[in-house]
Amino acid sequence: MPDTIIADGLTRRFGDFVAVDQISFGVRPGEIFGFLGPNGAGKTTTIRMLTGLLPPTSGRAQVAGLDVAREPREVKRRIGYMSQLFSLYGDLTVEENIEFFGGLYEVTGERWTARRDWVLENAGLGALRHRPTGTLPLGLKQRLALGCALIHEPSILFLDEPTSGVDPISRRNFWALIGEFARRGTTVLVTTHYMDEAEHCDRLALMNRGRLIGLDTPAGLRRSMTDPILAVTTANAPAAVRVVRELEGVRDVTMFGRVLHAVVENEGSARGAITTRLGQAGIALSHLDRIEPSLEDVFAEWIRREGGAVAG
Amino acid sequence: MRISGARVGRMVHKELRQMFRDIRMRGLIFVAPLIQLVVFGYAVSTDVRQVPTFVVDYDRTPASRQLVDWITASGYFRVSGVSDRSGDLRAALEDRSATVALEIPRGYADDVAAGRAAAVQVLVDGTDSNTGNIALSYIVRIVQRAGADMVRAPAGVSLEARAWYNPALESRVYNVPAVMGLLLLLITMLLTALGVVREREIGTWDQLLVSPVSATELMLGKVIPVALVGLLDLVLVSTAAILWFQIPLRGSPLVLLAAALPFLIAGLSIGLIISTLSNTQQEAFMSSFLVLLPALIFSGFMFPVSSMPQAFQHATLLNPVRHFLVVVRSVFLKGTGFADHWEQYLALYAMAGAGLWFGVSRFRRMVGA
Amino acid sequence: MISPTRLGAIARKELLQLRRDVRSLILAFLLPLVLTMVFGAAISLDVREIPFAVLDRDRSPASRELVEAFTASSYFTLLGELDRPADADRLLRRGEARLILSIPPAYARDLSSGRGARVQALVDGSDANTATIAINYADAITAGVAARAAGAGQPSPITAEARVWYNEALESARTIVPGLVAVIMAIIAAMLTALTIAREWERGTMEQLAATPVRRVEVVVGKLVPYVAIGLIDLAMVTLLGVLVFDVPLRGNVLLLAGIALVFIIGMLSFGILISSALKSQLLATQIALMATYLPTFLLSGFIFAIANMPLVLRALSYLVPARYFVVVTRGIFLKDVGLGVLWPQVLGLVIYAAVAFALAVRAFRKELA
């Protein structure tokens, strides 16, 4: 089956600034494809180019077999899109919003009634259909926005940070929904900066400073991390970071609350060095364990290899 | 209530810097006033000249032609068309190619020669009542004079009219000083209201409230820069009026200033009150506009107060713009002093005081002082 | 292909939002109402009862007759008799009197002896409008007195029988109210629409819209529809008020008025949408919309101040102000009962304006983000 989404050397410049630099990838039908990256990496710009919101400076985007630059409106008919900031109409009721988007996608009559019921049920908003959207909690708003993006039953869904600012439980429910749609054959391209959500994706693309620096399944990405990681739990994390960072054989140290993750070259020698040095510095060490790399660790490592994330 | 001059000074300094750095502000402070000045100065003119006149002369004698000459010689009328069919006259008035029509009946010359009363028909297009009024008054005057001159023996009465303060009878002389009133009100109200609300919108307001700044210092910090800008604009516009429009400043600038200060304060107070009622800059702007409109309409700026119904005339006494306009026009054109318009000064100071008291108390309440 | 479904969805949404936006509703309906009442009832350009004072140093029957002639005229109202020139100064300076009639001591003698009497009128020239009218009528009255004196009872040799057409009593209301229709619609149309698109940008809903297959034209037209309805309702409201309350006649064809009004409204609304699309901030859009409509519409449309009296540059500029054409149309239809035959130049101007504004609005409106 041909890829439903194809990016080929997509580039976008804003004056001198290169926001997206020669990105190429393909997404298979029914796949949940995630875009991971720090702020300013170019994720939103990429999605905008793929959905016809922003023309690329160079390169090509192909969605559902159509060239996005040449037939943007045809593409828009076949895709659903949820933008980053909640952008349904706060002063319209839930049902009025559904009606509006139905109209925009020319979903009318009986078909609309059926779709409307589906959206309400999916979002759990059946009882609230006459409530002004602006008064709903964020989690429900997001579910409504998702429903409106799907009102015309598109086969491809683009979601730009759909769960930012949403509480963890709602986020889990939301991803359950996405999983449902993917199982039924919808291709989903989603950007996120929540590492735990990245685990739900079939494949992940890592972006930094406008470039694609990694593309693999979550498991594959984790396996790519060959250097061992030691979790160092101390009483004084900031001080410990300063000490451990300078040690030979320590590639990188990241602080996760009180715990340090140290990427080291050799587990054995590193253990010794860390224990000794922290003792010399008078910093109490409570735990020192090897851990499996999480996506967060993988990500931090890849970024480091690339020379650091974009500032801010 | 302790006021730290240094703190207020710093806030004023910051406010002024922000104002002058913002391009839009600079436009509002410098460019907009001058544009308004030019437009109001030239557009608001009720001078009537060269009114197109359609002539239907049924008599066609030297006497009738002489009458037409008299009328056009005044410079106020020009012949836009001639015909001997009254239908053309109607058409000319309908399609506005003529504003006035003159119909001279057959037998006009005979009547005049015989000393009988000769009547000519004057038709005026009344759709623009002002022009109609003025054109009518000119025609009546010319014709009456012509008649009087005809029976000159014995010599009649001549009226020597001297127009004081504005011999050339230019209407812009009346309007340009008045624009100052409009501008000062606009600027003080708008800048104060927007200045306070913008800070609330951005969020720096809470930052200020948490600091040791007192409510009074905060208010002064917002209000003083606007007052300074207002004075700056006063000078700017006055200079433009004097140099460009050549409006004479016959009175003393101090007399003008003595009226401008309470007027500025009144405007500032209104701006403060508006800021306590608006949540966004958008609202503040609209509210200012909604206050400005009646303030302008009922001020004598464009529409004479004396032509309003009694009830409205009394209502305008509450409008500071009305009082300020009387003073500013008089100081420029007539060289008046305090004594001539003491009622206006009294009203202005009273309003400034009341406005300030009201504005400050609302401000303090909003700040939670 | 323009889809009526998509267009309808946009129009319906605008209408729903408008219904719930109290501020816009006030602007749309209350403000025109208030403006009409205010302008109809309070505003007048009429100059009557000009306050004047007399400095009569002759005090003869002849001078009394002259003063009588002034007092009898509806144009002047006598404040009082003065004794000293200094009093005259004061009255003029304070603006209490607009005209001082100064009759010299030898008035009656000069008049009867045939030498020719001269009186002086000192006029407060600062308000040139009133001064001009005052001088004219003062001269006319004086001339009338002179002629009567010479002819000893005979009527004046020439009289001008003046008739005013279309607005017989030269009532300001009839001049102002038809023009007011144009002004109100111009200002409000531009202001209302100036907000719609900027609002969508500011709230982020524009991006969502951009991702859908809706066409630019559909969005612009869809947004216009509810405001066109408002404009026509306002037209009806102001017309009714003018006719019922202020005695403004409606002599012409109402349908023609409505039709031309439609074109005018579309033009002004498109202008508002153009502003809203070009500037994506609501605050800025409001300010620019106000500046770009209120000043020109108030001053350069002929609504209050006759365009013919303005300098060339402003006269030329007025051709760019659509309200100018519409004021001619409203006055023509209300007061003169003229038809397309006379009004076609104005209608042409309005059609061109509407077409250009609409085209520019659609072009300027880019839902795409670049």
| Residue C165 located in a structural domain | no
What average pLDDT does range B249-275 have in this prediction?
93
Cβ neighbours of C81 (radius 10 Å): 12
Instruction: Collapse the DSSP code of B309 into the 3-class scheme (helix H, G, I; strand E, B; otherwise coil) and give the result.
Output: coil
Domain, as residue range, for C349: 4-43+171-369
The pair of three-digit structure tokens given for residue C188, joined into one six-digit string: 């409000």
What number of residues does chain B have?
Answer: 369
| Residue B162 located in a structural domain | no
**Is there a single domain that holds both residue B212 and residue B345?**
yes
Could you tell me the CA-to-CA distances from B290 to B284, C71, C105 in Å, in that order?
A: 10, 42, 55
| Residue B100 located in a structural domain | yes
Q: What does the pLDDT profile of chain A (312 residues) look like in tens digits? A: 788 999 999 999 998 899 999 999 999 999 999 998 888 888 989 999 999 888 899 999 999 999 999 988 899 999 999 887 767 888 899 999 999 999 999 998 999 999 999 999 988 898 999 999 989 988 888 889 989 999 999 999 999 988 888 888 888 888 888 998 999 999 999 998 788 888 889 999 988 888 898 899 988 888 888 888 888 888 888 888 888 888 888 888 888 888 888 888 888 888 888 888 888 888 888 888 888 888 888 887 777 777 766 543
Closest residue in C to A158 (Cα–Cα): C211
Closest residue in B to C305 (Cα–Cα): B44
At residue B51's C-alpha, the angle toward residues B45 and B57, to 5°, is: 165
| Residue B112 located in a structural domain | yes
pLDDT for position C151: 62
DSSP A215-230: EE-HHHHHHH--S-EE
Contacting residues of C for A88, CB less than 8 Å apart: 205, 208
Alpha-carbon distance of C294 to B184, in angstroms, equals 18
- List subunits contacting chain B, requiring 3 or more Cβ pairs under 8 Å: C
What burial letters (b/e) apply to C345-364, b meaning 16+ CB within 10 Å? ebbebbbebbeebbebbbeb
Taking a C-beta distance cutoff of 8 angstroms, is the pair A302, A216 a contact? Answer: no
The pair of three-digit structure tokens given for residue B229, joined into one six-digit string: 């800008």
**Is there a single domain that holds both residue B189 and residue B87?**
no
ipTM: 0.82
**Is there a single domain that holds both residue B359 and residue B242?**
yes
The tens digit of pLDDT for each residue in B186-209 reads: 889 988 998 888 888 877 887 777
The pair of three-digit structure tokens given for residue B228, joined into one six-digit string: 């300074």
- Contacts (Cβ under 8 Å, ≥6 apart) of B94: C332, C336, C338, C342
The pair of three-digit structure tokens given for residue C116, joined into one six-digit string: 């020719």
Mutation for testing the C interface, residue in B129, B171, B289 having most C CBs under 10 Å: B129
Reply yes or no on whether the pLDDT at C254 is more than 80: yes
Contacting residues of A for C16, CB less than 8 Å apart: 91-92, 96
Question: In terms of C-beta distances under 8 Å and separation of at least 24 residues, what long-range contacts does B340-343 make, across chains too?
Answer: B340/C90, B340/C93, B340/C94, B341/C94
Mutation for testing the A interface, residue in C12, C207, C366 having most A CBs under 10 Å: C207
Taking a C-beta distance cutoff of 8 angstroms, is the pair C285, C195 a contact? Answer: yes
| Residue C161 located in a structural domain | no
**Is there a single domain that holds both residue B62 and residue B34?**
no
**What is the percentage of chain A residues whose pLDDT exceeds 70?**
98
What average pLDDT does range B303-320 have in this prediction?
89
Chain-chain contact of A87 with C6 (C-beta, under 8 angstroms)? no
Instruction: Name the domain count of chain B.
Output: 2
Alpha-carbon distance of C217 to C360, in angstroms, equals 11
Alpha-carbon distance of A135 to A94, in angstroms, equals 10
Q: What is the 3-state secondary structure (H, E, C) of C170-219?
A: CCHHHHHHHHHHHHHHHHHHHHHHHHHHHHHHHHCHHHHHHCCCCCHHHH
| Residue C240 located in a structural domain | yes
Residue A137 dihedral angles phi and psi, to the nearest 5°: -70, 155
**Is there a single domain that holds both residue B240 and residue B304?**
yes
Alpha-carbon distance of A248 to A266, in angstroms, equals 10
| Residue B160 located in a structural domain | no
Alpha-carbon distance of C300 to C292, in angstroms, equals 12
Chain-chain contact of A55 with C368 (C-beta, under 8 angstroms)? yes
**Is there a single domain that holds both residue B296 and residue B175?**
yes
Chain-chain contact of C213 with A100 (C-beta, under 8 angstroms)? no
Alpha-carbon distance of A146 to A177, in angstroms, equals 9
pLDDT for position A311: 41
Q: For residue A189, what is the enclosing H or E element?
A: strand A187-192
**Which of A202, A143, A203 minimizes the C-alpha distance to A177?**
A143
**Is there a single domain that holds both residue C70 and residue C212?**
no
Alpha-carbon distance of B298 to B318, in angstroms, equals 10
β partners of residue B52: B78
**Which of B75, B80, B72, B86 minimizes the C-alpha distance to B54?**
B80
What average pLDDT does range C63-73 have in this prediction?
91
pLDDT for position B329: 92
**DSSP single-letter state for residue C59:** -
Alpha-carbon distance of A44 to A298, in angstroms, equals 22
Q: For residue B119, what is the enclosing H or E element?
A: strand B118-125
pLDDT for position C155: 55
Place of tokens 């320590």: A250
Instruction: Name the domain count of chain C.
Output: 2
| Residue C135 located in a structural domain | yes
Q: What is the 3-state secondary structure (H, E, C) of B54-113?
A: EEEECCCCHHHHHHHHHHHHCCCEEEEEEECCHHHHHHHHHCCCCCEEEEECCCHHHHHH
Contacting residues of B for C39, CB less than 8 Å apart: 297
| Residue B335 located in a structural domain | yes
Alpha-carbon distance of C118 to C106, in angstroms, equals 9
**Is there a single domain that holds both residue C129 and residue C230?**
no
What number of residues does chain A have?
Answer: 312
pLDDT for position C262: 94
Alpha-carbon distance of C180 to A31, in angstroms, equals 63
**AA identity, residue A70:** R
Domain, as residue range, for B146: 51-150
Instruction: Collapse the DSSP code of C278 into the 3-class scheme (helix H, G, I; strand E, B; otherwise coil) and give the result.
Output: helix
pLDDT for position B369: 60
Instruction: Collapse the DSSP code of C268 into the 3-class scheme (helix H, G, I; strand E, B; otherwise coil) and give the result.
Output: helix
Least CB–CB distance from B158: residue in C118, C137, C165: C118
**Is there a single domain that holds both residue B231 and residue B345?**
yes
Alpha-carbon distance of C360 to C362, in angstroms, equals 5
The tens digit of pLDDT for each residue in A242-275 reads: 888 888 888 888 888 888 888 888 888 888 888 8
Rounded to a whole number of angstroms, the distance between the first and last alpha carbons of chain B is 11
pLDDT for position A312: 37
**Is there a single domain that holds both residue C59 and residue C33?**
no
The CATH number of the domain holding residue B68 is 3.40.1710.10
B2 to chain C, closest Cα gap in Å: 37
**Is there a single domain that holds both residue B351 and residue B288?**
yes
